[in-house]
Amino acid sequence: MSDEAAIESSFLNRLSELAKVNDPIDPELYIKHDVKRGLRNANGTGVLVGLTRIGDVVGYEMRNGEKIAIPGRLIYRGYDVADLVKDAEANNMFGFEQCVYLLLFGKLPTKAELEEFTSFLGERRILPEHFTEDMIMKAPSSDIMNKLARGVLASYSYDDNPEDRSITNILRQCIELISRFSTIVAYGYQAKRRYYDGKSMYIHNPLPTLSTAENFLRLTRSDKQYSDLEAKVLDLAMILHAEHGGGNNSSLTVHVVSSADTDTYSAIAAGVGSLKGRRHGGANIRVMQMMSEIKANVHDWSNESEVADYLRKIVRKEAFDKTGLIYGLGHAVYTISDPRCVLLRDKAAVLAKEKNMEEEFNLYRTIERIGPEILYEKIGDRKLICANVDFYSGFVYSMLNIPCELFTPLFAISRIAGWSAHRIEEIVAGGRIYRPAYKNVSAERAFVPLSER
């Protein structure tokens, strides 16, 4: 480190100590002032801050003021997501595009409407002229989510009408972003491979006749090849991640920023920034890291007792990251079951058989089954705990040979559908800027002139 860098580092360290000393707040004050930390009520339910017609996350019912756990359901515009998945499978089609149509327009499309909309999406996957060279290749990023956020904001400059707040124009902007997200992510990944990993970069053109899932696999693989099962599994994961109610952090972010009457690109980029957070979009990466350690330290994956012993070490904070968490188990709303997990797990079983990874899949199933009991032993509470979608999504992506740096961007490629629907809903039905209260808990002080300090 140079002398100049050392001086700067020392200065910043001193400033950071000042910042840390100045900001802590006594936890008791949150109780005293009845603050809903994390916008959560004391019973674990979310603080009601808005109304939506877009989606619902169902994990419990309130009966006489008490939460009663029920099997989880995920609802898109009044329809159970499980029925959307069954419909796609019954018609041997890719269902994400139908899901996007439903979320945006509130109705299931006819065959003709779906074909027209899918074609409209497909024709817009190619990025604007010079966008790839100037916005992606000339400024590569080591993190694809940052590259995606930059790509969203840069899209403003390529839009001839970026500030028009009419629903027609906002819808046009959202559809273009939904279509282009997979291309921006894939090209951002290729640039990262070239400039940060020292590997070859492959820039393939998206094909308008392919689904979002097919195009993503085509653009991220050097040979552009994929099986129908691989694409259908990825399509399923995208359906399951497209929407999760208005209260999840990134969708709420889109609502809040949209309520300020800003442009579409600023609102969606804010959603990307939220999703990048490790407490939101990166959970499946933590699952994969945890599973790698388990696989390395448990010699017989089929031995339930040996697996349980290592899980106890994790819970006792003696192994993995010493947090005591079994990642992928537990959810803020779902308790008996996460419907996304159930649907993805069933498809993961099929893919694992094709990829000769059934032994690893069975390890996941064992941990899903015994993990809650291990947690009960530690916390002494029989609060219902189930595996969430993150428990299996990373495993599924790994079987698809998708690198972990693309896990969260894939989440964004899916969730842009929900974000777009929530932005439009906020513009149409909101009409008021979000302005919650923060209680100031510092005392007023007499000002001290500079000469007396």
Active site residue 33: no
Residue length of the chain: 453
Which of these, 187, 192, 190, lies nearest to 142 by C-alpha position? 192
CA distance 152 to 143: 15
Instruction: Find all residues with CB under 8 Å of 409, minimum gap 6, and list them.
Output: 144, 145, 148, 185, 188, 189
- Which of 69-97 are b and which e, b meaning 16 or more Cβ less than 10 Å from the residue's Cβ? eeebebbbbebebbebbeebeeeebbbbb
What is the per-residue DSSP string for 166-211?
Answer: SHHHHHHHHHHHHHHHHHHHHHHHHHHHHHTS------PPP-TTS-
Q: Is-contact 96 117, C-beta < 8 A?
A: no
In the structure encoding, which two tokens stand for residue 49, read together? 């801050």
Which of these, 232, 248, 367, lies nearest to 301 by C-alpha position? 367
Any idea which residue has 């208005």 for tokens?
Answer: 246
Active site residue 331: yes
- Give the residues across from 74 on adjacent strands: 57
Q: Distance between terminal CA atoms of the chain?
A: 34
Whether the CA torsion 249, 254, 259, 265 is positive or negative: it is positive
Instruction: Find all residues with CB under 8 Å of 221, minimum gap 6, and list them.
Output: 202, 401
Any idea which residue has 């006749």 for tokens?
Answer: 209
Q: Is-contact 95 242, C-beta < 8 A?
A: no
Catalytic option among 331, 346, 381, 422: 331
Catalytic option among 235, 263, 338, 390: 390
In the structure encoding, which two tokens stand for residue 40, read together? 């959560």
Any idea which residue has 């956020």 for tokens?
Answer: 149
Catalytic option among 80, 143, 164, 280: 280
CA distance 13 to 21: 12
CA distance 182 to 201: 16
Active site residue 280: yes
The residues assigned a catalytic role are 280, 331, 390
